[in-house]
């Protein structure tokens, strides 16, 4: 009987504000419901996302705070404007003493669905994820907004451009807002957030920008380990989350993530920009190491082939062999890199090899030393290409 009564109270099939035809209920909670609706006044009848404020609690303080939070969500999404990072606010209205919020519906899938397989992500995938979400945090933080519920289910990958969009600002905090004074009064404290992604200071109703950074760091750990962080333990000595032994990634990336999820928020990165700079510095270091590796392997290749009449023939055979194995483009690329980054004698040697590649017609002698060395040279090229 109760279930039938609740079903009859839903808005499915009803027309709201003479414009939004409700077609499906999505969620139902203590303070309201969410629906999908068609905008019938639009020529293409696009699908919209509708929130209805409908508290079920009898606690007057909670109702007051929930109503303020609902109004604040509308204010926050409106202030953020038409950003590619969040859904657009389409309308707010009241009808029959109930309040509604209508947002753009993001067609896509959640990050949670990408993690549901339990597969461990590669290091470059995790870095790319961080570099996608951090600008979103950078954007909302610049508007004085703390999301307070960063988690995989609140990040949607839009289908048309495969970019991540942050949704659900229902518990977001607006800095220097009157609601915080109500929330943090001595008699009442309302804790908001999701266990596992919520840092200790947020659990004590003292969230900060670092709270969102912590939650994103937790997501990074979940992608690398393939497990829910609620299943991980804390180090009894440091009181920090213990996860490094489960992954095979660089110590630099581990250090960056550990700083993101540090229990003491004073020791965390203080802004999303700081994390982005740390990742950029790490990637620049990787590029420098790769550049050195390219130079070292190229120099060794030149040193192994002294220029004399006999070795010139062997070098010609080597180059022709590389050509037959489709390595000419790689040699040309290495020649350009080395010519810029090294002294001219080495660069001259590289371009000498390129000249040989384009001008020799000799068939390689399988028994020659150069042909025997070709396999090892090819392995070096493959390794360089793989690392790149």
Catalytic residues: 149
Other residues' Cβ atoms within 10 Å of the Cβ of residue 107: 11
Per DSSP, 270 falls in state S
Going by C-alpha positions, the residue among 242, 271, 212, 256 that lies closest to residue 123 is: 256
Beta strands in the chain (DSSP E): 15-16, 20-28, 32-39, 47-53, 89-95, 98-104, 108-110, 145-146, 155-158, 164-166, 173-174, 233-234, 241-242
What sign does the dihedral 193-199-204-205 (CA atoms) show? negative
Going by C-alpha positions, the residue among 130, 109, 138 that lies closest to residue 224 is: 130
Spatial separation of the C-alpha atoms in residues 284 and 336, rounded to whole Å: 19
Paired tokens of 49: 């996302």
CB 120 within 8 A of CB 224: yes
Going by C-alpha positions, the residue among 145, 116, 150, 158 that lies closest to residue 133 is: 150
Residues forming a β-bridge with 38:
21, 47
Other residues' Cβ atoms within 10 Å of the Cβ of residue 188: 14
Going by C-alpha positions, the residue among 153, 273, 141, 259 that lies closest to residue 207 is: 141
Residue bearing tokens 């062997």: 314
């Amino acid at each position: 009987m109760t279930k039938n009564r609740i079903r009859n109270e839903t808005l499915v099939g009803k027309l709201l504000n003479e414009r939004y035809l409700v077609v499906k209920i999505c969620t139902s909670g203590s303070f309201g419901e969410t629906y999908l609706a068609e905008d019938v006044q639009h020529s293409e009848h696009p699908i919209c996302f509708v929130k209805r404020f409908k508290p079920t609690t009898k606690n007057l303080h909670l109702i007051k705070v929930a109503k303020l939070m609902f109004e604040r969500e509308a204010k926050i999404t409106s202030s953020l404007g038409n950003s590619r990072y969040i859904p657009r606010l389409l309308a707010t209205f009241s009808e029959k003493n109930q309040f509604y919020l209508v947002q753009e519906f993001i067609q896509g899938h959640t990050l949670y669905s990408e993690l549901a397989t339990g597969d461990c992500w590669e290091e470059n995938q995790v870095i790319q994820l961080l570099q996608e979400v951090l600008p979103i945090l950078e954007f909302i933080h610049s508007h004085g907004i703390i999301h307070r519920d960063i988690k995989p289910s609140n990040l949607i990958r839009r289908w048309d451009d495969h970019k991540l969009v942050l949704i659900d600002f229902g518990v977001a905090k607006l800095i220097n807002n009157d609601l915080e004074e109500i929330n943090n009064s001595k008699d009442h404290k309302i804790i908001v957030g999701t266990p596992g992604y919520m840092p200790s200071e947020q659990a004590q109703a003292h969230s900060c920008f670092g709270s969102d950074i912590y939650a994103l760091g937790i997501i990074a750990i979940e992608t690398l380990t393939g497990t829910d962080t609620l299943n991980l333990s804390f180090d009894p000595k440091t009181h920090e989350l213990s996860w490094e032994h489960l992954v095979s990634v660089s110590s630099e990336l581990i250090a960056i993530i550990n700083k993101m999820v540090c229990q003491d928020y004073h020791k965390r990165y203080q802004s999303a920009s700081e994390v982005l700079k740390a990742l950029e510095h790490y990637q620049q270091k990787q590029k420098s190491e790769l550049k050195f590796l390219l130079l070292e392997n190229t120099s060794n290749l030149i040193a192994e082939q002294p220029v004399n009449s006999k070795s010139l023939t062997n070098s010609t055979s080597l180059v022709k062999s590389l050509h037959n194995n489709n390595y000419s483009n790689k040699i040309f690329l290495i020649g350009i890199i080395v010519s810029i980054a090294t002294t001219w004698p080495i660069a001259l040697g590289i371009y000498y090899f390129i000249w040989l590649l384009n001008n020799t017609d000799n068939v390689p002698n399988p028994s020659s030393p150069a042909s025997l060395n070709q396999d090892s040279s090819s392995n070096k090229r493959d390794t360089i290409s793989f690392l790149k």
